[in-house]
Amino acid sequence: MSRIEKTFSRLRSEGRTALIPFITAGDPDPEFTVSFMHGLVSAGANLLELGVPFSDPMADGPVIQRASERALEHHVSLLDVLEMVRRFREQDSHTPVVLMGYLNPVEVMGYEDFATAAEEAGVDGVLTVDLPPEEAHDLVQALRSHALDPIFLAAPTSNRHRLEMIASAASGFIYYISLKGVTGAANLAVDEVARKLDEIREVTDLPLGVGFGIKNAEMAATMSRIADAVVVGSTLVSVIEENASEPDKIRDKLHDLVHEMRTAMDRA
């Protein structure tokens, strides 16, 4: 059983929802990322999403774009991100790590080389935002052969046919984009999200994560009632941005925010 599967099955038996924080690797400085990852886990995160910086993050809003820009000022590459995961694994062998990024850095490294290096580093899943299942065949094969879960997005615009295609390409979990827009966008309509999650459950038994637009503990708690996982990104990245000049404070602030969300979700 993969680390991602184990995590979801343990949480399910405890009746809890996974909390998945997202941060961009190397933001605001590569030396802090591994420490932030451990801090997020100690605050109650069950799985980590680590953003791979890219020069042209087309599906991200301004907050995560700027995080990419800060990391790229330090020339953080895909190899550097894998090295961060390897260092994280020295002290944490149970928390799954999913890389989230864009295809081009992976394309340049080569699918097979990337999958080999990611497996060795201790990565568990890979979400390539600009790679729909139609174009994903070769990368999915490379990932699968290295025990890595290909994570795919589902969206409000995905019809039944697309959901089936996504379900058959994906493993680990499916990431449902809860609104039409970029990361960090406006408000969520909970009922609509719940309806769509029911529709996705008709085509898959994979756990369903919900992300894009979850801004606070209250929203995280609400979503935890209908989803198997709650993904929080822009809100955390904003904390990093606001404190970029004093990075020593970031770990504690991230901890407080994630802990608050975890507590609210467990009460829900």
Partner 1 sequence: MEKPDYRHMPDEHGHFGPYGGLFVAETLMEPLEELREAYEKYMQDEQFLTELDADLQHYVGRPSPIYHAERLSRENGGAQIYLKREDLNHTGAHKVNNTIGQALLAKRMGKTRIIAETGAGQHGVATATVAARLGLECVVYMGEVDVARQEANVYRMRLLGAEVRSVSSGSKTLKDALNEAMRDWVATVDNTFYIIGTVAGPHPYPAMVRDFQTVIGREARQQMRQMTADLPDALVACVGGGSNAIGLFHPFLEDEGVAMYGVEAAGEGLETGHHAAPLCAGQPGVLHGNRTYLMEDRDGQIIETHSISAGLDYPGVGPEHAWLKDTGRVQYVAIDDDEALAAFHTLTRTEGIIPALESSHAVAYALKLAATMKPEQKVLVNLSGRGDKDMHTVAAREGIKL
* Closest separation in Å from C-beta 106 to partner 1: 7
DSSP H or E stretch at residue 126: strand 125-128
Phi, psi of 126, deg, nearest 5: -135, 125
* Closest separation in Å from C-beta 235 to partner 1: 18
Q: Which of 58, 145, 225, 249 binds partner 1 (CB under 8 A)?
A: 58
Task: Name the amino acid, one letter, at 221.
Answer: A
153 binds partner 1 (CB under 8 A): yes
Q: Is 130 helix (H, G, I), strand (E, B) or coil?
A: coil
**Residue number, 26 or 207, with CB nearest to partner 1:** 26
Q: Which of 25, 37, 78, 115 binds partner 1 (CB under 8 A)?
A: 78
Q: Which of 24, 33, 95, 158 binds partner 1 (CB under 8 A)?
A: 158
Give the span between the Cα atoms of 118 and 126, in whole angstroms.
Answer: 9
Q: Answer for the pair 48, 100: CB distance below 8 angstroms, yes or no.
A: no
Give the span between the Cα atoms of 135 and 197, in whole angstroms.
Answer: 24
227 binds partner 1 (CB under 8 A): no
- Could you give the C-alpha distances from 143 to 38, 110, 140, 246, in angstroms and in order? 25, 12, 5, 38
Check if 49 is active-site. yes
Strands 125-128 and 97-101: parallel
- Could you give the C-alpha distances from 180 to 176, 206, 246, in angstroms and in order? 11, 22, 34
Which of 27, 60, 149, 228 is labelled catalytic? 60
62 binds partner 1 (CB under 8 A): yes
**Residue number, 28 or 53, with CB nearest to partner 1:** 53
Site mask for partner 1 (CB under 8 A), range 109-138, x = bound: x-------------------xxxx-xx---
234 binds partner 1 (CB under 8 A): no
Check if 69 is active-site. no
- Scanning 96-229, the segments in alpha helix (DSSP H) are 103-109, 111-121, 137-144, 160-169, 190-201, 217-224
Q: Which of 56, 120, 218, 246 binds partner 1 (CB under 8 A)?
A: 56
* Closest separation in Å from C-beta 32 to partner 1: 20
7 binds partner 1 (CB under 8 A): no
What positions carry a catalytic annotation? 49, 60
Chain residues binding partner 1 by CB under 8 A are 54-62, 65-66, 69, 72, 75, 77-79, 102-109, 129-132, 134-135, 152-159, 162, 166, 177, 180-182, 185
